[in-house]
A and B are shown apart, each in its own frame.
Chain A
């Protein structure tokens, strides 16, 4: 009875949209409200002495943002050449950063009830940048915590 009531009050937030993308072998999603835009590969200025995952700085219409290579955070090798990587520009903690990913998927609507905490089986260095996972029909979508990506670096 109480559970049912809970579910009713939660109804409005149930339908959340996620931008999905792939990096390495993993499938990620990020809340669509956090995503500013998705752009093609941009020329970058490398930053010496920066953390390894920081690929460089991008000029995004006059705004300078750092590009974080998600694959490098995951410790994954990517077969995709640099020119074909995509930038997912996200806002995290009052700051805008760009996440470099292999490919962009659809914007999908998920049911909040399919949300689960990060399974223990996922490697710790990946687990710490995730909010949780969604069980989709065919695979798991990892919900990325972009703020944590920055923290880690």
Chain B
């Protein structure tokens, strides 16, 4: 069961559901044999089963349903009349189908049951029409007679097996009499004898023939289908209501948990802990009921792709991966349009015409690949085509022409940045406006739709090879994790999806690291300029540009919105919490800074910040551009003292040393027990290989004897091999201007500099390596390690 794939499961559920209906319809047919609609319904059901199982290569299932379908077809076209025998046989067909489905459900295959007798029975019943409904005898070929004969033989065995079954006896004799008809070609009149009398006559003889039939257990009926009983259809409104209630429960739980903290009652604490667990599980469960596979949207795409490709004279194959990826219903609905638009765009603009493709050495058929998968609590959808890719130069020119960017900016923008311009409102590069895309309301709508549900969209292009759109969306909208911050004594929630990292700047660092460019503040985060946005200022709670260094601490929440990053300055940062998003009323809808509100553990309301709205409000893009401009200008003026990131460590008492951070691959700690030796060298096993260790403390004399504890080391990538450098203590990563001086020359040192107000030696790792290789104690040829 476990290895059954989703499609088969779906097929089973659907078929079992249909079979329930089949039984009902058959019974209805029995009570009113003339009702043609009923026959039609039955035919459709069997036909569906047959058609679907054809995809899965279930031969027996297909065979049985196929002959059943034939019989039903005859019934439908009124070639034969509905009789009790037929109904019974059809009910048996239904049982058999159920048995087969049960086998599939259980073991994934059809089982080794033999259904040829039923097949024979169905076939012979169907062929009755020829003998019983036509005036003249139509059976005159010997071969047909022999088919019937065999079926009767089969029937015989069956009857002797299930001898108690009166219906079957009757069927058997009906079939037998028919066979007699067929075989007695020399007496044509006999065939025209009405069916009922034949059966009646046969029935009379029955007891003697099958009296010895013993009651064999009927396996087929005992096998109850589990699938159809284990799933049922539920009204979406009910699920929505459940979801709301769970939301309330989560809030109540939060409140209880908050209250528990102030209590000292052990039993109460454990009860609320249990409540906490149950609530979380319930929340997850209810959430899952609302999950739908992304294929519910995707299934419509092949048709769309085909139509568009057709109308622009292109050939496109659509491949889909990860169809079963699940998403909340509301999100599924929300991504429907954006997805369609991206697909249209890819087919219309991305993939070239067959001629162009052939000229470019590609196959005439374009390939569009859609991939969906879960990643870090989000769902990622990738839409990649193997078309021409984005024409960066044309986008740049177009953006300039439409005045979306300035020429200064256009020149300074990187390729990826330019490509992202297609998401700007009023942008379209299509040379020809088609009815599919190219009206300038395209990708910007995609972006705003995706962002509305807390997602993000990006594009990557490989000229000549294709483009890839990446859409990231949250799993659900109703309950989201969020970071709680305070500003001016009010709490605000920042959705986790916008969150990148938290930075706390203290004391002396504060003055150094905040730069003011054209009236706005920036922080240099690992070399990148980060615009600062003061939350209180944005919310109108304090005057703009007031001094913010009160207390000497700056709490930064680094967030991402659109394609920008900025640091949101808040008074304090608290925990992350699961919050239930509630919409703001009409009165407050217009405030772009808020995405909604939620109720906190103490019952108070907190507002959820709309980071994207805030970025727009604070004109982050403009500030960023200004900063970059400023930076490039200052860079031109001269690179007197470049800021560098240094990795600072200690090599013994008062022996500070540093290397540039980019020479450090990883920081590791090795227990002394892990130390081994290869030849004369100290090594450790590292990432399926052997890592030579060089004790940097050795450059100031003999390294201390290693006896116990662990070694701290940083791993350095030298060429294509790793070397571990052992240090005494890891101190810090510092970013500052480094003025190298050489107070005394020493091998392995670049020089010394004042870092963090202390003299620090700057090591020359490559020289040290050479040095170490000279000395057998430390040197190591990594090639040996291979």
Contacts and interface: CB of A to CB of B under 8 A. Distances in A.
A39 to B, nearest CB: 14
Contacts of B597: 45, 57, 64
Contact of A49 (B251, B540, B603): B540
B586 A150 contact: yes
Interface residues of B, number: 24
Interface stretch (B84-92, B587-595, B630-638): B587-595
Contacts of A93: 586
Nearest to B617: A49
Contacts of B607: 45, 47, 57
A99 interface: no
A66 B598 CA distance: 13
Nearest to A45: B605
Interface in A50-67: 50-51, 54, 56-59, 62-66
Interface string A70-96: 000000000000000000000001011
Interface string B464-506: 0000000000000000000000000011000000000000000
A109 interface: no
Contacts of B598: 64
A12 interface: no
B745 interface: no
B585 A95 contact: yes
Contact of B587 (A45, A51, A62): A51
A46 interface: yes
Contacts, number: 64
Contacts of B605: 44-45, 56-59, 64
A107 B336 CA distance: 51
B540 A95 contact: no
A49 B604 CA distance: 19
A130 interface: no
B591 A47 contact: yes
B541 A48 contact: yes
A36 interface: no
A65 B586 CA distance: 10
A66 B248 contact: no
B623 to A, nearest CB: 20
Given A45-B490, A49-B593, A50-B587, A62 B599 contact: yes
A68 interface: yes
Given A45-B604, A48-B540, A97 B588 contact: no
A117 interface: no
B490 A46 contact: yes
A96 B584 CA distance: 11
A111 interface: no
B606 interface: yes
B539 interface: yes
A7 interface: no
Interface centre among B591, B594, B605 (most CB of A within 10 A): B605
A49 B539 contact: yes
B579 to A, nearest CB: 12
A95 B588 CA distance: 12
Interface in B551-588: 582, 584-588
B585 A62 contact: no
Interface centre among A48, A59, A66 (most CB of B within 10 A): A48
A96 B588 CA distance: 13
Nearest to A94: B586
Contacts of A116: none
Interface in A107-129: none
Contacts of A46: 490
B589 to A, nearest CB: 11
Interface string B588-624: 1001011001110001111100000000000000000
A151 to B, nearest CB: 9
A59 B251 CA distance: 11
Interface centre among A46, A54, A93, A150 (most CB of B within 10 A): A46
A62 B244 CA distance: 10
A48 B606 CA distance: 12
A150 B599 contact: no
Contacts of B591: 47, 49-50
A68 B586 CA distance: 12
B604 A43 contact: yes
Contacts of B603: 59
A58 B585 CA distance: 12
B561 to A, nearest CB: 18
B490 A50 contact: no
Contacts of B593: 48-49
Nearest to A92: B586
Interface centre among A47, A65, A96, A153 (most CB of B within 10 A): A47
A64 B599 contact: yes
Given A45-B606, A64-B582, A153 B587 contact: yes
A57 B583 CA distance: 12
B604 A66 contact: no
Contacts of B490: 45-46, 48
Interface string B502-541: 0000000000000000000000000000000000000111
A150 B585 CA distance: 10
Contacts of B539: 48-49
Contact of B588 (A43, A47, A63): A47
A153 B590 CA distance: 11
Contacts of B588: 47, 50, 54, 66
A59 B585 contact: no
B599 A97 contact: no
Interface in A3-54: 43-51, 54
A66 B585 contact: yes
Contacts of A96: 585
A59 B604 contact: yes
A68 B540 contact: no
10 contacts: A45-B606, A47-B588, A47-B607, A48-B541, A49-B591, A63-B582, A66-B584, A66-B587, A95-B586, A97-B585
Given A49-B593, A65-B585, 17 more contacts: A45-B490, A45-B491, A45-B604, A47-B591, A49-B591, A56-B605, A57-B597, A59-B603, A62-B599, A64-B582, A64-B585, A66-B585, A66-B587, A68-B587, A97-B585, A150-B587, A153-B587
For the complex of A and B, the 4 pairs showing the least CB-CB separation, nearest first, are: A48-B539, A45-B605, A57-B605, A62-B248
